[in-house]
């Protein structure tokens, strides 16, 4: 989960907890306030009726003839000594029945209805015994409280949605510079070193970070450009003297006295090593052109099946010299858009590599398969394999798993292969187990889609 989503989730959870606490406290306060309000209303009504039925200046109950309790008040005037109802506006039998409770309101349930009841003492005898009361009551409307609570919950839910959505938008805007930095870094990772991070005019933390990264990228691009330029210049400058050395060595070897073994061996070594240097320089120039964006494939429709057949046939003699069985599994009619020369070099490099490190008497298997809009080629051998420590480095330039074992190669073949695959927008993957063999899998799009390929191990 992204930081933006994590912060939004935690922010939403915090707001939800705070709202839950707020609604709970508010509900309790509303219920308490409603209870106090009801109690005050009942006490006011009871006092009003008591004033109407109590004889002025005495404690005797005197209900005026024809007295009617206010119809807005549900009440009864009761003689508690004999249970006689002196006045009533409720029409409910339970209003005159005991027990009688004083000093605080109490609840009574009549079927599905709940009532808040208050007993107000009117008259006491000489023994301080209450002989007449005013009983007032009001219906407890739990639905009203429930509706208020539901309104609070609905309002809180709406507030939570708005708060979380607003927080997400604010956070998105705040993190947008970081997203731009990520996109720029991805473009740079694909090889576009000229890309830079857009820096806002505001002098905030992201602007400072963007400026620092841009400065670092400027220095990095400059250093890489100088390195590439040096490789290109050095390769060009070395080609001529190496060619002269090779020619001189060949002349020396041709005219050397056969009896002078030391001179003949020295001439042979000069020719061999100058030839190797020439191959390295040529391959370095290829890699440098690719790094500088000067390697442009000539795209055409090629029959991958026929191309692999030609490469396998070309390598048949070499495979026979090592008694390695070269197997080819093709998929007829499979065509792709690619540079034929470059793709030929890819499979030449992979098959040569498999034959070089394959097991004598073993096999090298080339399998072509079609997968929707892609073509997949597997080059598999059962040779010495590559250790887990060396496998991640096989596409690095001049890297060899065992530098003392073989100096016939240049250490650049797989680097060139990976560069060509990347130039075609394809993928190359290396898998290996020491002592069991190695598999290189190349995936190419049928339609050319250059510039965003990958290499995996």
| 3-class DSSP assignment, residue 46 | helix
Q: How far are the Cα atoms of 45, 67, 91 from residue 71, in angstroms, in the given order?
A: 11, 12, 11
pLDDT tens series, the chain, 457 aa: 677 788 888 888 888 898 888 888 888 887 777 777 778 888 888 888 888 877 654 556 777 777 788 777 888 888 877 778 888 888 888 887 877 887 778 888 887 788 888 888 876 666 667 778 888 888 876 666 677 778 888 888 888 888 888 888 888 887 777 778 888 877 777 767 777 777 776 677 777 887 888 888 888 878 777 766 666 666 666 767 777 777 877 777 777 777 777 777 887 787 777 777 766 666 666 666 666 666 677 889 999 999 999 999 988 988 899 899 999 988 777 899 998 888 898 898 899 889 988 888 899 999 999 888 899 999 999 988 888 888 888 888 776 655 444 555 567 778 888 888 888 889 999 999 888 899 999 999 988 876 666 666 6
Residues 54, 64: contact at Cβ < 8 Å? no
Residues of the chain with CATH 3.30.565.10: 300-456
The CA distance from 33 to 54, in Å, is 31
Nearest CA-CA partner of 135 in 223, 45, 67: 45
Please state which of the four CATH numbers 3.40.640.10, 3.40.50.11140, 3.30.565.10, 3.40.630.10 is assigned to the domain occupying 300-456: 3.30.565.10
Question: To the nearest 5 percent, what fractions of the chain are helix, strand and coil?
Answer: 50, 20, 30
Residues of the chain with CATH 1.10.287.130: 205-291
C-alpha 428, offset from chain centre: 25
* Model-wide pTM > 0.75: no
Phi first, then psi: give them for residue 365, nearest 5 degrees: -110, 125
Question: Hey, what are 104's tokens?
Answer: 């605080």
Is it true that domain 205-291 has CATH number 3.40.630.30?
no
Residues 357, 390: contact at Cβ < 8 Å? no
Nearest CA-CA partner of 343 in 189, 430, 456, 448: 448
The alpha carbon dihedral of 380, 383, 388, 394 has a sign of: negative
- Contacts of residue 305, Cβ cutoff 8 Å, sequence gap at least 6: 330, 331, 332, 333, 334, 368
Residues 136, 74: contact at Cβ < 8 Å? yes
| Total Cβ atoms within 10 A of residue 308 | 24
Residues of the chain with CATH 3.30.450: 3-146
| In the block, residue with structure tokens 């404690």 | 59
Sheet holding 74-79, edge to edge: 84-88, 74-79, 130-139, 113-124, 106-110
Please state which of the four CATH numbers 3.40.50, 1.10.20, 3.30.450, 3.40.190 is assigned to the domain occupying 3-146: 3.30.450
- Contacts of residue 333, Cβ cutoff 8 Å, sequence gap at least 6: 303, 305
Nearest CA-CA partner of 213 in 190, 183, 191: 183
């Amino acid at each position: 989960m992204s930081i933006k989503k994590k912060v939004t989730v935690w922010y939403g959870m915090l707001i939800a907890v705070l709202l839950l606490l707020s609604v709970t406290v508010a509900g309790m306060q509303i219920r308490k306030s409603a209870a106090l309000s009801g109690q005050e209303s009942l006490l006011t009504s009871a006092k009003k009726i008591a004033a109407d039925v109590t004889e002025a200046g005495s404690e005797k109950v005197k209900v005026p003839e024809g007295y009617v309790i206010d119809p807005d008040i549900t009440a009864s005037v009761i003689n508690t000594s004999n249970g006689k109802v002196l006045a009533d506006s409720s029409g409910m039998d339970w209003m005159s029945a005991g027990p009688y409770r004083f000093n605080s309101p109490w609840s009574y349930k009549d079927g599905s209805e709940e009532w808040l009841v208050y007993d107000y003492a009117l008259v006491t005898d000489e023994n301080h015994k209450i002989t007449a009361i005013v009983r007032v009551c009001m219906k407890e409307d739990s639905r009203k409280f429930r509706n208020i609570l539901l309104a609070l919950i609905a309002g809180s839910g709406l507030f939570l949605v708005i708060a979380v959505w607003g927080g997400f938008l604010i956070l998105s805007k705040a993190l947008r510079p970081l997203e731009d930095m990520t996109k720029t870094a991805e473009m740079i990772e694909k090889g576009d070193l000229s890309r830079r991070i857009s820096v806002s005019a505001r002098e905030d933390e992201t602007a400072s970070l963007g400026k620092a990264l841009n400065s670092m990228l400027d220095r990095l691009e400059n250093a890489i450009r100088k390195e590439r330029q040096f490789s290109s210049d050095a390769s060009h400058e070395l080609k001529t003297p190496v060619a002269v050395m090779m020619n001189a060595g060949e002349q020396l070897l041709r005219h050397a006295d056969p009896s002078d073994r030391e001179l003949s061996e020295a001439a042979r070594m000069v020719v061999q090593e100058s030839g190797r240097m020439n191959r390295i320089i040529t391959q370095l120039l290829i890699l440098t052109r690719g790094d500088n964006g000067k390697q442009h494939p000539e795209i055409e429709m090629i029959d991958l099946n026929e191309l692999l057949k030609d490469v396998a046939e070309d390598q048949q003699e070499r495979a026979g010299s090592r008694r390695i069985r070269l197997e080819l599994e093709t998929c007829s009619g499979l065509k792709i858009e690619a540079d034929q020369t470059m793709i030929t070099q890819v499979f030449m490099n992979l098959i040569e590599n498999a034959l070089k490190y394959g097991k004598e008497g073993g096999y090298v298997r080339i399998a072509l398969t079609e997968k929707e809009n892609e073509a997949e080629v597997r080059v598999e051998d059962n040779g010495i394999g590559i250790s887990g420590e060396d496998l991640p480095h096989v596409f690095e330039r001049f890297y060899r798993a065992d530098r003392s074992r073989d100096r016939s190669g240049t250490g650049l073949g797989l680097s060139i292969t990976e560069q060509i695959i990347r130039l075609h927008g394809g993928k190359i993957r290396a898998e290996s187990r020491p002592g069991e063999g190695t598999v290189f899998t190349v995936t190419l799009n049928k339609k050319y889609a250059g510039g965003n390929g990958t290499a995996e191990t």
